[in-house]
Amino acid sequence: MKITYHGHSVVSVQTDSHHILIDPFITGNSLCDLDPNTVKADVILLTHGHNDHVGDTVAIAKRTGASIVALNELAVYLGQQGLDAHGMNIGGAYDFDFGRVKFTQAFHSSSYEEEDGTFIYTGMPGGILLTIDDKTIYHVGDTALFSDLKLIGERNDIDLAFVPIGDNFTMGPEDALVACDWINADIVVPVHYNTFPVIEQDPVAFTDKVATGKGMPLKVGESITL
């Protein structure tokens, strides 16, 4: 499968049979190389309800008919808009036709802000363990450093991890380096930085210091094949 980074926390996974999009924040994401009007999607996975993660989900799913997998309250909210959404919760796993999804905890918040400023409660924030053909990708989501990352690293053989480094809204580089030691992935890709002024970071300075696993500062549009 081919995994591509698209800026902020946007990741696409292309398998032999499915186009999977994770946290497709395209409109308003100055870093993103995708076009919400043409991007392919069979499945959209969402880590939490914040607008910089749900992004263009509704429009993409309406155009493509993609199914959505999200934490329960967010899935219910999207289902109320006529979309096909499968709700899960922290610690639960499910075998889909495209692969296995397990939601991990994340220390963060989760809500969706409507255009009129109304906040919708979207349940807990999470991270996503996506296993396809014996390869496991861990999209850590938005989170602070928390010690159960060590448990997640011990209990899962993680091939590729997407780790936030932006600081301010998530862990910053120093905490993310500790997270990488605990997650113990073969490859680490930093995400959630340089989208906004408050999360400006140097991804190469970060990946140079990654001690456990190989740090790969993917540029927008760059891919890894697993």
- Footprint of Ni ion on this chain (CB under 5 A)? 50, 142
How many residues appear in the chain? 226
Encoded one letter per residue, x for contact with Mn ion by CB under 5 A and - for no contact, window 13-52 reads ---------------------------------------x
Minimum distance from residue 142 beta carbon to Mn ion (Å): 4
Phi, psi of 219, rounded to the nearest 5 degrees: -80, 160
**In degrees, to the nearest 5, what angle opens at C-alpha 41 toward C-alphas 110 and 83?**
55
CB of 31 to Ni ion, least distance (A): 16
**3-state class (DSSP) for residue 49:** coil
First and final C-alpha spacing in the chain: 6
- CB closer to Mn ion, 96 vs 196: 196
Q: Is 142 in the site for Mn ion (CB under 5 A)?
A: yes
Query: Which listed range, 26-34, 92-100, 115-123, 134-142, lies at the site for Mn ion (CB under 5 A)?
Result: 134-142
Report the alpha-carbon distance of residue 124 to residue 87 in Å, rounded: 12
State the minimum distance, in angstroms, from the CB of residue 213 to Ni ion: 24
What is the dihedral sign for C-alpha 23, 29, 33, 38? positive
Residue 8, binding choice from Ni ion, Mn ion, none, Cβ under 5 to 8 Å by partner class: none
> What does the binding site for Mn ion look like in residue numbers (CB under 5 A)?
52, 142
